[in-house]
Amino acid sequence: MGWPAKCDVFTERHRTWIAKRIAEKTQEGKLEIDRLWEPHTGSMWDENETRKMLTPPPRDPELEATLGDITTEVVDAIVNAANTSLLGGGGVDGAIHKAAGPELKEFCKSLGGRAVGDAKCTPGFDLQARWVIHTVGPQWQGGDQGEPDQLASCYRECLARADDVEAKSIAFPAISAGIYGYPIQLSAAIAVKTIQTTPTNVRLVRFIAFNKTTFDVYKKLLG
Ligand code: AR6
């Protein structure tokens, strides 16, 4: 079977065939919707429907760990481990606000804060990253006060906000693993597992470790 001749409906057989071709092309890294569209389809085809059908389902993002300072990351979005006020603080929050410049705080004033486990996107202002996604991690209280679910929620919500703004690459600090006291072994395991199990259009997720111990934990988890 080949590309169907001009027609105004996709038969089930055509859909199956096209899906198979897409899977092959995606694996080869050669999926080019415009080229697939052009010679084989015509004015009687609904272009939007075709494009929707030709868009492959999201693939798993690439995951990597880096040792360094998140404020210098060249990605679409960096994540800030903020507090519920979203108005800045110490740790990575302070570093991000300092590097982004005073406009970030001004912008954050209009947001009205955020609950633990939630996330909100702002521009990156003076940062290399176009976006900052602010999330509020839980404070470690021994692990039986809902902290694991709240931390997982932070990672999920950050990916959702990244998808909202069509960010394709994102860098995360070890949310809650500093001032909020979450043990790094536990927090990193939740970070990696949540990212691996959350559907997203983000293509690259980078875990930024601020020290060697944290870096080693991520490296081990990522294999
Ligand atoms: N780049 C990458 N990671 C960093 C950087 C940096 N520049 N600076 C620190 N880290 P923390 P939390 C690491 O304390 O635990 C703030 O006051 C750090 O080593 O920044 O979620 C907020 O306003 C650690 O591994 O965030 C809140 O009140 C990780 O980032 C509170 O701290 C998170 O450490 C949030 O505490």
Q: What is the CATH number of the domain that holds 93?
A: 3.40.220.10
60: exposed, middle or buried (C-beta count within 10 Å: 0-12, 13-18, 19+)? middle
According to the model, what pLDDT value does residue 132 have?
98
Ligand 1, atom 28, lies closest to the CA of 83
Query: In terms of domains, do 128 and 165 share one?
Result: yes
Query: In terms of domains, do 176 and 96 share one?
Result: yes
Residue-wise pLDDT tens digits, 72-104? 999 999 999 999 999 999 999 999 999 999 999
Query: In terms of domains, do 218 and 187 share one?
Result: yes
Using the mean position of ligand 1's atoms as its centre, give its distance from the Cα of residue 61 in Å: 24
**Longest CA pairwise span in the chain (Å):** 64
Residue 154 Cβ inside 6 Å of ligand 1? The answer reads no
> Residues 79, 71: contact at Cβ < 8 Å?
no
Query: In terms of domains, do 112 and 216 share one?
Result: yes
The preferred substitution site among 210, 215, 218 for testing ligand 1, maximizing ligand atoms within 8 Å of CB, is: 210
Query: In terms of domains, do 33 and 94 share one?
Result: no
Residue 217 Cβ inside 6 Å of ligand 1? The answer reads no
Q: How many residues does the chain have?
A: 223
pLDDT at 208 > cutoff 90: yes
Query: In terms of domains, do 45 and 109 share one?
Result: no
Query: In terms of domains, do 33 and 140 share one?
Result: no
Angstrom distance (rounded) from CA 206 to CA 42: 42
> Between 11 and 32, where is the model more confident?
11
Residues tagged active-site: 93
Residue 4 Cβ inside 6 Å of ligand 1? The answer reads no
Query: In terms of domains, do 100 and 178 share one?
Result: yes
Q: How many distinct helices (H) and strands (E) make up the chain?
A: 8, 6
Encode 38-55: b = buried (16+ Cβ within 10 Å), e = exposed. eeebeeebeeeebeeebe
Q: Is the pTM of this model over 0.75?
A: yes
Residue 89 Cβ inside 6 Å of ligand 1? The answer reads yes
Any domain includes 1 = no
Residue-wise pLDDT tens digits, 173-198? 999 999 999 999 999 999 999 999 99
Query: In terms of domains, do 71 and 123 share one?
Result: yes
Domain boundary among 37, 54, 71: 54
Question: Based on the structure, what is the number of domains in the chain?
Answer: 2
Query: In terms of domains, do 142 and 110 share one?
Result: yes
**Interaxial angle between packed helices 47-54 and 12-28, expressed in degrees from 0 to 180 and rounded to the nearest 10:** 50
Using the mean position of ligand 1's atoms as its centre, give its distance from the Cα of residue 142 in Å: 19
Angstrom distance (rounded) from CA 96 to CA 56: 35
Q: Which structural domain, as residue segments, surrounds residue 21?
A: 12-54
Encode 64-92: b = buried (16+ Cβ within 10 Å), e = exposed. ebeeeebbebebbbbbbbbbeebebbebb
Any domain includes 128 = yes
Query: In terms of domains, do 169 and 193 share one?
Result: yes
